């Protein structure tokens, strides 16, 4: 079945969200609509729709004009078995002692590595993205420095690969993973089962640390937050308040040019930047309270 995309950009969150809602009334209806901020400091938002039938380009043009957006770029995507494609293209990732792999590469797991099985079909951070790998390397640095953590939280956990990595190294620690997306929480729980780690950590649906169980478990001596610049800055006060004295925070989801601004937001809350690692266009920060 062919798939069509229609993408545009425009300034401002509110008009972008309104355009996204208006797209849902098109005929044929889009299979899904997404509205995302472009994290480059431009203030632009991307609005896109996915269609199983060719979209009404006249209707799209009228919507673009009505909301002050650029003309929609409409494309037909080739039919692709994306899971099979990803399995072919994604090799295992090595980050210090950690080895992130799919089941199709299970025979490649070295005996001396900590294996983390994350299937290619699972979204939200397979370990191949520079942000996830940067966080794993930051965790490796803490371990190498002799740190032993007893209370770990992974906020915006996605696949929970970071929380699982910490739980593998410190199995006696209290480990918690949360995400605002209920699908991500389901994925995290499925990954725990796939890694024979059911019960090794608690998975919660929550926005930031806004959950009674997270508040009860705080303060944490290690907190991961691999999300985006905007939420990281917005959450800085609440995340820092949830960290124990001398505790560490590992942050990513940041472009290199965004790292300094995010670091300043956390330094303003009493944390000290102890390490910055740039991998390609992405940056990972380690801070200590």
Q: Which CATH superfamily is domain 125-288 in?
A: Vaccinia Virus protein VP39 (3.40.50.150)
Q: For residue 166, is pLDDT > 90?
A: yes
Please name the residue that has the structure tokens 């691999």.
226
User: Cα(288)–Cα(167) distance, rounded to whole angstroms?
Assistant: 20
**pLDDT score at 126:** 46
- Please state the rounded mean pLDDT for residues 169-173: 94
Q: Place 112 in a pLDDT band, splitting at 50, 70 and 90.
A: confident
Please name the residue that has the structure tokens 């099979």.
84
Q: For residue 89, is pLDDT > 50?
A: no
- Please state the rounded mean pLDDT for residues 89-95: 70
User: Cα(146)–Cα(127) distance, rounded to whole angstroms?
Assistant: 24
3-77 has which CATH code?
3.30.70.120
**pLDDT score at 79:** 65
| The pairing of beta strand 32-37 with beta strand 44-51 | antiparallel
Nearest CA to 34 out of 22, 17, 51 is that of 17
Q: For residue 41, is pLDDT > 60?
A: yes
pLDDT cut 70: percent of the chain above it = 90
- Please state the rounded mean pLDDT for residues 107-113: 83
What are the pLDDT digits (tens) for 114-123?
Answer: 989 886 544 4
Listed in sequence order, the DSSP H helices in the chain are 13-23, 57-67, 82-89, 130-144, 161-169, 182-194, 212-217, 229-241, 259-267
User: Cα(262)–Cα(285) distance, rounded to whole angstroms?
Assistant: 9
Q: For residue 80, is pLDDT > 90?
A: no
Q: Where are the domains of the chain?
A: 3-77, 125-288
The mean predicted confidence, pLDDT, of the chain is: 88
- Please state the rounded mean pLDDT for residues 126-142: 82
- Please state the rounded mean pLDDT for residues 261-278: 96
User: Cα(145)–Cα(142) distance, rounded to whole angstroms?
Assistant: 5
What are the pLDDT digits (tens) for 200-258?
Answer: 999 999 999 999 999 999 999 999 999 889 999 999 999 999 999 999 999 998 889 99
- Please state the rounded mean pLDDT for residues 88-96: 70
């Amino acid at each position: 079945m062919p798939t069509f995309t229609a993408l545009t950009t425009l300034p401002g969150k509110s008009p972008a969200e309104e355009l996204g809602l208006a797209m849902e009334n098109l005929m044929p209806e889009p299979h899904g609509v997404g509205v995302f901020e472009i994290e480059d400091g431009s203030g632009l938002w991307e609005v896109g729709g996915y269609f199983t039938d060719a979209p009404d380009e006249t209707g799209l043009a009228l919507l673009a004009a009505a909301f002050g957006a650029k003309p929609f770029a409409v494309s037909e995507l080739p039919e692709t078995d994306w899971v099979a494609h990803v399995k072919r293209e994604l090799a295992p990732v090595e980050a210090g002692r950690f080895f992130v792999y799919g089941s199709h590469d299970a025979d490649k797991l070295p005996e001396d590595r900590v294996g983390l099985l994350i299937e290619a079909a699972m979204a939200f951070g397979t370990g191949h993205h520079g942000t996830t790998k940067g966080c794993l390397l930051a965790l490796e640095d803490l371990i190498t420095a002799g740190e032993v953590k007893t209370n770990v939280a992974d906020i915006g956990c996605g696949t929970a690969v970071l929380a699982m990595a910490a739980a593998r190294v410190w199995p006696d620690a209290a480990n918690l993973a949360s995400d605002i997306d209920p699908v991500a929480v389901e994925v995290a729980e499925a990954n725990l089962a796939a890694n024979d780690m059911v019960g090794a950590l608690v998975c919660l649906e929550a926005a930031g640390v806004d959950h009674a169980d997270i508040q009860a478990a705080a303060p944490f001596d290690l907190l991961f937050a691999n999300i985006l610049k905007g939420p990281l800055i917005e959450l800085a006060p609440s995340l820092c308040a949830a960290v124990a004295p001398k505790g560490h925070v590992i942050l990513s989801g940041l472009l290199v040019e965004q790292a300094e601004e995010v670091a300043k937001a956390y330094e303003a809350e009493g944390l000290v930047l102890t390490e910055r690692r740039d991998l390609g266009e992405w940056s990972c920060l380690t801070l200590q309270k």
